[in-house]
């Protein structure tokens, strides 16, 4: 659902190496390489941090939830020269993670 690279970037883990991350209900469960310890992050707190991170990257995310629970996100640039993109997912958090992954992948282009 969310890549290890995006999770490190958004959550600002500079030195920890993420071994695995997976959805566990309303949390993302993260396992670290060094200690094999686990941490749980509330998925909605992570979504909020993703939106803040996107804003710092000069994008704003506008999200909606459809009646069937699927999510839709419009990723709008806050500066000229960048392009709009839209993302869908089976949930609103999933579509937000997809949008942020796209921003991360295209950050240096």
Residue 107 confidence (pLDDT) = 82
Q: Which letter does DSSP use for residue 27 in this model?
A: E
Contacts of 104 (CB under 8 A, 6+ apart): 3, 5, 6, 9
Residue 79's domain spans which residues? 4-105
**Number of structural domains found in the chain:** 1
CA 43, 45, 51, 57 dihedral sign is negative
Q: What is the pTM of this model?
A: 0.86
The tally of CA atoms less than 13 A away on the side-chain side of residue 63 is 24
* pLDDT digits 0-9 by tens, 43-68: 999 999 999 999 999 999 988 888 77
* pLDDT digits 0-9 by tens, 6-31: 999 999 887 778 899 999 989 999 99
């Amino acid at each position: 659902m969310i890549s290890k690279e995006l999770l490190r970037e958004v959550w600002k883990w500079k030195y920890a190496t993420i071994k695995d991350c997976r959805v566990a209900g309303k949390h993302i469960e993260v396992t670290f390489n060094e200690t094999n310890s686990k941490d749980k992050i509330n998925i909605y707190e992570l979504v909020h941090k993703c939106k803040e991170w996107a804003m710092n990257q000069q994008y704003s995310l506008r999200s909606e939830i459809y009646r069937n629970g699927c999510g839709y996100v419009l990723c709008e640039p806050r500066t000229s020269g960048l392009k709009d993109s839209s993302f869908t997912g089976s949930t609103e958090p999933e579509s937000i993670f997809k949008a942020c992954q796209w921003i991360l992948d295209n950050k240096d282009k």
